[in-house]
């Protein structure tokens, strides 16, 4: 079966711009969660969506937002980009959002210049 | 969610068995122990999960002593392609904390020829 698909794979943006990242979960998975990975902070949880509703949120500023569509595809948006937002953004899908069975995508590498 | 401690790095040679130990002194009764593997610029990949004693799959074995305060991931006969970061996670996201996996610093395993 197809895995978790994230697009684009690479992105270069200028400070102050905004960016939208996309995640298509495994078919049938209704939970999509997003993570930011940087060398300094490691993997950090951003938020989780289930059936188009945000159910859980990490400790990130309001510039980071997301949404989920009726087909479970999810988008993440970062507004007013800062240099420190440069990171690998990963999404993970699962059936319910708890238990085991999280499948991660390959991520979007965002570089802010 | 219980905090985990694991070695920052380990070196091994092809064909050897590698054991990575993770400490989780504050593990709760309902917590499971899960290991993920991550290659550079890819998302983490689920390896194995267990609750107590021993679990084995086609990739690895997981040993958990009776007190469950530690666990050991065993990789038999490693190859160069096993060079990756290995994360030990304790306490899968429950229904009240959906989508959130707590990743520590992980163990960077370097397999040499």
Could you read off the pLDDT of B44-101 as tens digits, one per residue?
Answer: 999 999 999 999 999 999 999 999 999 999 999 999 999 999 999 987 656 677 888 8
Say whether residue B10 is in contact with chain A using an 8 A CB cutoff. Answer: no
The DSSP letter of residue A80 is S
pLDDT at A60: 97
- Measured between beta carbons, the chain B residues lying within 8 angstroms of A106 are 41-43
Query: Model confidence over A44-101: pLDDT tens digits?
Result: 999 999 999 999 999 999 999 999 999 999 999 999 999 999 999 999 999 988 776 7
pLDDT at A59: 94
Strand partners, A67: A75
Cα(B32)–Cα(B34) distance, integer angstroms:
6
- Test the A interface: residue of B3, B39, B43 with most A CBs within 10 Å: B43
SS3 A25: coil
A5 neighbors A105 (Cβ within 8 angstroms) = yes
Query: Model confidence over A16-44: pLDDT tens digits?
Result: 999 999 999 999 999 999 999 999 899 99
Say whether residue A48 is in contact with chain B using an 8 A CB cutoff. Answer: yes
pLDDT at B41: 87
How does residue A111 score in pLDDT terms, banded at 50, 70 and 90? very high
pLDDT at A21: 98
Please name the member of A98, A101, A107 whose beta carbon is closest to the beta carbon of B43. Answer: A107
- Sign, CA dihedral A44-B9-B11-B25, equals negative
Q: What are phi and psi of B63, to 5 degrees?
A: -110, 130
Please report, for residues A21, A34, B40, B87, the alpha-carbon distance to residue A46 in angstroms, rounded to integers and kept in the order given. 13, 5, 20, 18
Residue of A nearest to B42 (CA): A106
CA dihedral (A88, A94, A100, A101) in degrees, to 10, reads -80
- CA B111 vs. chain centroid, Å, equals 17
pLDDT at B28: 87
Say whether residue B49 is in contact with chain A using an 8 A CB cutoff. Answer: yes
Please name the member of A31, A42, A106 whose beta carbon is closest to the beta carbon of B103. Answer: A42
The beta-strand segments (E) located in B14-77 are 18-23, 33-38, 45-50, 53-56, 61-64, 70-75
Say whether residue A38 is in contact with chain B using an 8 A CB cutoff. Answer: no
CA angle A91, A95, A101 (to 5 degrees): 70
Say whether residue A30 is in contact with chain B using an 8 A CB cutoff. Answer: no
Residue B1 has pLDDT above 60, yes or no: no
Say whether residue B57 is in contact with chain A using an 8 A CB cutoff. Answer: no
B63 neighbors B76 (Cβ within 8 angstroms) = no
């Amino acid at each position: 079966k197809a895995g978790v698909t994230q697009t684009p794979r690479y992105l270069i943006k200028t400070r102050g711009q905004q960016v939208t990242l996309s995640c298509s979960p495994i078919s049938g998975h209704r939970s999509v969660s997003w993570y930011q990975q940087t060398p300094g902070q490691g993997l950090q949880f951003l938020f989780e969506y289930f059936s188009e509703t945000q159910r859980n949120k990490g400790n990130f500023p309001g510039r980071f937002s997301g949404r989920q569509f009726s087909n479970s595809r999810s988008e993440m948006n970062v507004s007013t980009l800062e240099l420190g937002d440069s990171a690998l953004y990963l999404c993970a899908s699962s059936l319910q959002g708890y238990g085991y069975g999280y499948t991660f995508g390959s991520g979007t590498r965002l570089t802010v210049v | 969610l219980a905090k985990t401690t694991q070695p920052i790095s380990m070196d091994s040679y092809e064909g050897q068995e590698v054991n990575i130990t993770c400490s989780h002194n504050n593990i709760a009764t309902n917590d499971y122990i899960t290991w993920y593997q991550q290659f550079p610029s890819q998302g983490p990949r689920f390896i194995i999960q267990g609750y107590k004693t021993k679990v084995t799959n086609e990739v690895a074995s997981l040993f958990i002593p009776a007190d469950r305060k530690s666990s050991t991931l065993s990789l038999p006969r490693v190859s160069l392609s096993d060079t990756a970061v290995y994360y030990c996670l304790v306490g899968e996201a429950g229904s009240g904390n959906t989508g959130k996996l707590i990743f520590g610093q992980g163990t960077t395993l370097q397999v040499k020829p």
